[in-house]
Structure 1
């Protein structure tokens, strides 16, 4: 959905159909938009993915020279100190942007009442085809992954896992023109949910700044239905704030340059509190008492409890957790009709959720990356 990537960018994330449409429309993580919970939902069948992809390519209605478009262009040009010709160029490009009904539909929250099932969610990501692509990605980019781990302290396996969850290693980066997606949500945001048009106007401005700086044509760049870009699915604002030129070629390119994508993901996590050497989670035994469980789960995935507070509420952290010195969160993963499982999330687990406000997402990244690392170890031992 990532990815982005807002305060912290990634993600005050929307409860969208992000992951249910990942296979056709590009993973979407509203980087720097963390605040609204993202709920995993059932994946759409392949026929629906094809239908949505065809719909994404149907022409929408041009925005034209609406007053709010002209005002946006004038304000952006004034803020950036651009000349009149640059302002007119923005006006012309926005006039050609299309307002897409499909984007309006996709940004709406998923239907309520969908049962969560961690095993089913995990199986969408830790599966043979993605693992094969992940091994090839790691092999090709081993030097960049090692460099990122050394420079930022983010394990190579987590960087590889995150890019795999976001875009299937560059295979699914989105088929919407970013200018259409952002303009639709900036100026024609649908009713029926909280209005996020100010956020998308800000991202649209960031998109124009990005295109001007990197010499990109705003009418040609494609991404997710929410405007996320490239291998790591950064929102334009996250690209401008956290993307880095990791291979030293003088450009920051998250669309074609895998080294830049790797370094930018590591930098993003480092800027959002990643602590080198710290685990992402520990096991624990939950108390039986209902009110104690409710108190432990109330802060959601934000680390809020000391070990003493956890134990006072009846939780039993694992031996490894007893060595932890920071705050911890109690994380619940629902398992359909079966009983939930519970974990203690560290500051590093929370840093992963800055990319996407979802414990399911974070564990998918962790498990995909760990599985890849184990497979590489097995291969090297042969």
Structure 2
């Protein structure tokens, strides 16, 4: 699936090194050689037949317009320094106009496909509203144009990207799909990142999770609505979706209760959270079956935005796309589609923007003091947020659990 955050590095025109005097034509020739002498033997061992292999790559050339390429013999493309990338308030992710539009379409399509969705929900235990929300977010309910040849994109990335081993696995998976006959190479369309069809599955995810729900003998996530919706549900079910539970609830954390409670490894019964004074922002009580089960605090903007109590299903949604904001987007959109929900009550505060390199410096400083921030990558995940809160409490400050320029200055 495509990640919620934008790419850090943009592709730049390639310059040939003077020592190798590489040309695109020369690299294309190396690509054809790589297909025959490197990829084909492994594909054959994986059960791919020669006719399928040759058909898959007939007329295929490298896609030089993709990002993150490192062609052999060429100078590495100039990359935008990480210091130029900014991390802005999480609120920018939740465009209200877009959410309203997706919700309106989602409600209409959920009614249109109610019978199919009912059967899918019965089989996999995943609510129809969650399935439709992911369908809408990933491919505009199957309406988005997905123009790229998945074989071409993934083969290019396997041959000369910055992550060739990842995409080598995916091109072998794509060849296995072609061998099974679910789709032809020409119809195997994907995004520029190699994610395919309406659910935006990478080929390995297709092999693991795609299902034939319409009974035509093929797992068609490109043209079959039933197969696409059921495949999304199967993905979530196999990732651990807990039948009968919600994804989460917007909440209020009272004064005196730290925001540093956050994280799936700090789960506790929701009743224990309510004993601390944490309540739903709606004022309604948590459903009794939820109170008895595990829940986790989530503060994606620290104390500068909405606060949540989430269930393990929130982290199942993150298996689809490993982003807190993506999972919140899906949860909120699903609530709008299925339950008449609306925007989060608490507004997203203006936290300003920090360079990702500065956030990474803040994380590295906390690491040196013994905090587990989840890696100094410039992205403030829950381990970073709670480490900030714990450091603030230790130094006599009110925990806010979110990086700011002032916090970075205090670390010096």
Q: TM-score if structure 2 supplies the norm length? A: 0.65
Match of 1:347 in 2: 312
Correspondent of 1:250 among 185, 210, 217: 217
Asked whether the equivalents of residues 270 and 295 of structure 2 are also in contact (C-alpha less than 8 Å), the reply is no
Asked whether the equivalents of residues 230 and 254 of structure 1 are also in contact (C-alpha less than 8 Å), the reply is yes
Between structure 1 and structure 2, the one with the greater Rg is 2
Match of 2:62 in 1: 98
Match of 1:148 in 2: 120
Matched, 1:366 2:338: no
> What is the alpha-carbon distance in structure 2 between the residues aligned to residue 173 and residue 343 of structure 1?
35
How many Å apart are 1:76 and its aligned residue? 1.1
Matched, 1:139 2:111: yes
Mapping of 1:16-35 within 5 angstroms? 16-17=6-7
Count of aligned residue pairs for this structure pair: 308
> In structure 2, do the counterparts of structure 1 residues 103 and 174 end up closer, same or farther at CA, with 3 Å as the change threshold?
farther
How many Å apart are 1:71 and its aligned residue? 0.6
Matched, 1:332 2:321: no
Asked whether the equivalents of residues 253 and 278 of structure 2 are also in contact (C-alpha less than 8 Å), the reply is yes
Correspondent of 2:85 among 107, 112, 115: 112
> In structure 2, do the counterparts of structure 1 residues 79 and 221 end up closer, same or farther at CA, with 3 Å as the change threshold?
closer
Asked whether the equivalents of residues 283 and 321 of structure 1 are also in contact (C-alpha less than 8 Å), the reply is no
> Structure 1, residues 189-213: CA drift from partner, whole Å, max 9, x if none?
14xxxxx321111111111111221
Match of 2:197 in 1: 230
How many Å apart are 1:289 and its aligned residue? 6.5
SS at match of 2:217: coil
Match of 1:306 in 2: 268
Asked whether the equivalents of residues 100 and 180 of structure 1 are also in contact (C-alpha less than 8 Å), the reply is no
> What is the alpha-carbon distance in structure 1 between the residues aligned to residue 275 and residue 38 of structure 2?
55
Q: TM-score if structure 1 supplies the norm length? A: 0.69
Q: Which moved more, 1:180-189 or 1:263-272?
A: 180-189
Provide structure 2 residue ranges, at least 5 long, that are not aligned to the other structure.
Answer: 9-23, 70-78, 342-412
How many Å apart are 1:310 and its aligned residue? 6.8
SS at match of 1:328: strand
Mapping of 1:1-382 within 5 angstroms? 2=1, 15-17=5-7, 63-66=28-31, 67-69=33-35, 70-80=37-47, 82-89=48-55, 92-93=57-58, 96-104=60-68, 112-118=85-91, 121-123=94-96, 125-128=98-101, 130-190=102-162, 196-214=163-181, 216-286=183-253, 292-294=258-260, 296-297=261-262, 299=263, 302=264, 304-307=266-269, 316=278, 318=280, 319-320=285-286, 323-334=290-301, 339-374=304-339
Match of 1:43 in 2: none
How many Å apart are 1:83 and its aligned residue? 4.5
> What is the alpha-carbon distance in structure 1 between the residues aligned to residue 98 and residue 235 of structure 2?
22
> What is the alpha-carbon distance in structure 1 between the residues aligned to residue 114 and residue 177 of structure 2?
28
Structure number with greater CO (CA < 8 Å, separation at least 6) is 1
> In structure 2, do the counterparts of structure 1 residues 160 and 311 end up closer, same or farther at CA, with 3 Å as the change threshold?
closer
SS at match of 2:297: strand
Asked whether the equivalents of residues 268 and 295 of structure 2 are also in contact (C-alpha less than 8 Å), the reply is yes
> What is the alpha-carbon distance in structure 2 between the residues aligned to residue 326 and residue 261 of structure 1?
31
Q: Which moved more, 1:279-288 or 1:257-266?
A: 279-288
How many Å apart are 1:115 and its aligned residue? 0.7
Q: Which moved more, 1:360-369 or 1:248-257?
A: 360-369
> Structure 1, residues 91-114: CA drift from partner, whole Å, max 9, x if none?
x44x72323333338x99996323
> What is the alpha-carbon distance in structure 2 between the residues aligned to residue 308 and residue 222 of structure 1?
43
How many Å apart are 1:125 and its aligned residue? 3.6
Supply the RMSD in Å over aligned alpha carbons. Answer: 3.5
Asked whether the equivalents of residues 251 and 306 of structure 2 are also in contact (C-alpha less than 8 Å), the reply is no
> What is the alpha-carbon distance in structure 1 between the residues aligned to residue 173 and residue 103 of structure 2?
34
> What is the alpha-carbon distance in structure 1 between the residues aligned to residue 223 and residue 52 of structure 2?
26
> What is the alpha-carbon distance in structure 2 between the residues aligned to residue 140 and residue 239 of structure 1?
25
